[in-house]
Amino acid sequence: MRSGFIAVAGRPNVGKSTLVNALCGGKVAIVSDKPQTTRRRIFGVANGEDWQLVLVDLPGVQRPRDALTTRMQSRVERELADSDAALMIVNGLEGIGPGDRFIAEALRKTSTPVIVAVNKVDKLTDAKLMEVLQATADLEVGDEIYPISAKKATGLEPLMDRLRDLLPEGPFYFDPSEESDQTEATLVAELIREQVLRRTFQEVPHAVEVMIDSIEKEREDLIRVTAFAWVETNSQKGILIGAQGKMIKAIGTAARKELQRELGMKVHLDLSVRVRKDWRGDDRALDRLGIE
């Protein structure tokens, strides 16, 4: 049996979480077009008969700005050091930038094997693809480059074969029926936050965290979720609630549908907004949220 941990590294927004979901065959990590969507490390698990590949979906590598981003960054460094291999993802649409060079340099310094995927090729012309493949090769990290579309699930098979080859012999770390190491409460909170991210702009998505107060199983096929959306200021609270409560209602409805789909049961969702000043700079709050 072969098993191991693959750290998925890359700038914010390159498609790391989308890829982890695609390879694990389920929604493990939430996805949005806002940077800093992924705040915690998440394990996504892909299984075969005699192999188990644990993908470590990481926050995007970036320069820390507050207690939250400092924790995110140090998490990335620890996970890279602990993995059997690293998969670096670059954004084919945006091309190679200083952020990619910064990550490539960090990866070159480790003894961990590295492979590189150029994502979002569904949006690229052949000429543009050639250009970005060359620029990726110029990063001089990893020995092979895989063009993929995480969203359209193309090019994933050769990549997966290569990842499997990198696995050392070892036992399964997770029950093969599990797609992820997240608790139900974390997954529920994240699915709600994903709907907030879809509908908010500028600084608001970064200021929101969802905190689950309780999840009660009312019937075999019905759960009741009570959750708070934390924001940092009264004006953010106003934005999240919206005129006549329209925004929070839309978020709640969309989140409830998504939860029902993911959990396969009926969901009652009681979602309210609370101001929690400076939670991103508050180590105790971050501990409570499990962002370590």
Which parts of this chain interact with Mg ion (CB under 5 A)?
16-17, 37-38
Measured over the CA atoms of residue 201, residue 204, residue 206 and residue 212, the dihedral's sign is negative
12 binds ligand GDP (CB under 6 A): yes
Rank residues 145 and 241 by Cβ distance to ligand GDP and give the closer one. Answer: 145
Rank residues 96 and 225 by Cβ distance to ligand GDP and give the closer one. Answer: 96
In the complex, what is the shortest distance from the CB of residue 30 to Mg ion, in angstroms, rounded to a whole number? Answer: 8
Q: Contacts with ligand GDP: how many residues (CB under 6 A)? A: 21
HEC sequence for the chain: CEEEEEEEECCCCCCHHHHHHHHHCCCCCCCCCCCCCCCCCEEEEEECCCEEEEEEECCCCCCCCCHHHHHHHHHHHHHHHHCCEEEEEEECCCCCCHHHHHHHHHHHHCCCCEEEEEECHHHCCHHHHHHHHHHHHCCCCCCCEEECECCCCECHHHHHHHHHHCCCECCCCCCCCCCECCCHHHHHHHHHHHHHHHHCCCCHHHHCEEEEEEEEEEECCEEEEEEEEEECCHHHHHHHHCHHHHHHHHHHHHHHHHHHHHHCCEEEEEEEEEECCCHHHCHHHHHHCCCC
281 binds, among Mg ion, ligand GDP, none (CB under 5 to 8 A by kind): none
For ligand GDP, the binding residues in 21-60 under the rule CB under 6 A are: 31-33, 37-38, 60
Q: Which two tokens stand for residue 29?
A: 């990590």
Residues in the chain, overall count: 292
Contact pick of 65, 123, 237, 266 for ligand GDP (by CB under 6 A): 123
195 binds ligand GDP (CB under 6 A): no
10 binds ligand GDP (CB under 6 A): yes
Rank residues 5 and 51 by Cβ distance to ligand GDP and give the closer one. Answer: 5
Rank residues 17 and 236 by Cβ distance to Mg ion and give the closer one. Answer: 17
For residue 168, count other CB atoms closer than 10 A to its CB: 10
Contact pick of 3, 7, 15, 46 for ligand GDP (by CB under 6 A): 15
200 binds ligand GDP (CB under 6 A): no
In the complex, what is the shortest distance from the CB of residue 36 to ligand GDP, in angstroms, rounded to a whole number? Answer: 8
Q: What does DSSP say about strands 85-91 and 2-9: parallel, antiparallel, or unpaired?
A: parallel
Output the residue with the shortest Cβ distance to ligand GDP: 15
Rank residues 12 and 170 by Cβ distance to ligand GDP and give the closer one. Answer: 12
Site map for ligand GDP, 144-183, x if CB under 6 A?
-----xxx--------------------------------
Rank residues 103 and 267 by Cβ distance to Mg ion and give the closer one. Answer: 103
Contact pick of 94, 122, 262, 282 for ligand GDP (by CB under 6 A): 122
> Residue 187 carries which side chain, given as an amino acid letter?
L
**Site residues (CB under 6 A) for ligand GDP?**
10, 12-18, 31-33, 37-38, 60, 119-120, 122-123, 149-151
